Amino acid sequence: MTKKFKQTTMQYFFEAQEQTSTDEGTLCLSGSEKHPLHRIIWISEGSAGCFIDFESHRLASNSVCTIPPGRIQRFEPAHGCKGYVLSFDNDFYRLAADGPGRPSFTGLPGILNQVSLLSLPRESPEMLHIFQELVKESSGHAQFKLEILIGLFNLLLVHLNRQATNLLMEMTTSTKVNLFDNFASQLDKQFMKKKQVAEYASELCVSPRYLTAVVKKVSGFSPSYHIQQRLVQEAKRMALASDANMKAVAYMLGFEDLSHFSKFFKQAAGVSFSEFKKRIFIRQAGMIH
């Protein structure tokens, strides 16, 4: 059982694991689960299928996946797949981001707040060494454990920044990345109540036009797209986690007009709510049998 470690007055959670597809269950997760922690997953050998918020991806050898908290995720590794999984909470993330020795660049830490797939161009003994040291340090209780974990973690981010070849987010100024991070944070907290870009712009003390320009430059998508996807992701989670019908889900998400929610869901998800529920039932029945 994992637990929060304590050093002086600071509490945090950080865990590093080496895993292979020969372990019991699947790599990282044995089933669909809404996970409360940040995760960085490195496939060092082989490949794995991953399903994050009902989106299917393929991770090849020497690729990295970053997943923020609250995402439903499942991994299905091919035979012989090997990799490492880092799991950490927001307390550790803030300690690493705000402490001395943090990376001077701003782009890569920003994408820890969204699902990102990074292809690394070549094998990296340095990366392997960092992950191995993180596994060793996270399982021990030696003096200065937190400082060493933060140093290794930031060194990992530097190596990822150096090697990643398909970063979709252009490195922008710290101010713009911070604005995007604040928008993403507000969206996670208030998406059920606030569904308009202007509401978030007012909260962040910028104009809707400026917020749209910054969010699109940093993430590649507009604020309205992020709002739409956050709502539909939550609708899917509700449909998966309970037997709630469309009327109940629409009500919980703040939609007063059921026909409006029906059209919204179909446009954002590509299928109707009833068809999505049907696919969940078929998938779950297949997993049982």
**CA separation for the pair 30, 106 (Å, rounded):** 34
Q: What is the mean pLDDT of the chain?
A: 79
- Interval 178-217: pLDDT, tens: 888 889 889 988 888 898 999 999 999 999 999 999 888 7
In the β-sheet with 116-119, what is the strand arrangement from edge to edge?
A: 14-20, 82-88, 38-45, 63-67, 116-119
Residue 88 binned pLDDT confidence (cut-offs 50, 70, 90): very high
Q: Which pair of tokens denotes residue 48?
A: 């794995």
**Bridge pairing between strands 82-88 and 71-77:** unpaired
Side chain identity at residue 234, one-letter code: E
* 27 HSE (CA, 13 A, CB side): 32
Q: What percent of the chain has a predicted confidence (pLDDT) above 70?
A: 78
The fold of 174-288 is Arc Repressor Mutant, subunit A (1.10.10)
From the number of C-beta atoms within 10 Å of its C-beta (0-12, 13-18, 19+), residue 43 rates as: buried
Question: DSSP H helical segments within 99-173, as ranges?
Answer: 107-111, 125-138, 145-163
Give me the phi and psi of 32, to 5 degrees please: -70, 130
The number of beta carbons lying within 10 Å of the beta carbon of residue 38 is: 21
Class of domain 5-163: mainly beta
| Residue-range domain boundaries for the chain | 5-163, 174-288
- Interval 206-257: pLDDT, tens: 999 999 998 887 777 889 989 988 898 888 888 776 777 889 898 888 888 8
**CA separation for the pair 37, 49 (Å, rounded):** 20
pTM of the complete model beyond 0.75: no
Angle at 17 between CA 13 and CA 19, to 5 degrees: 150
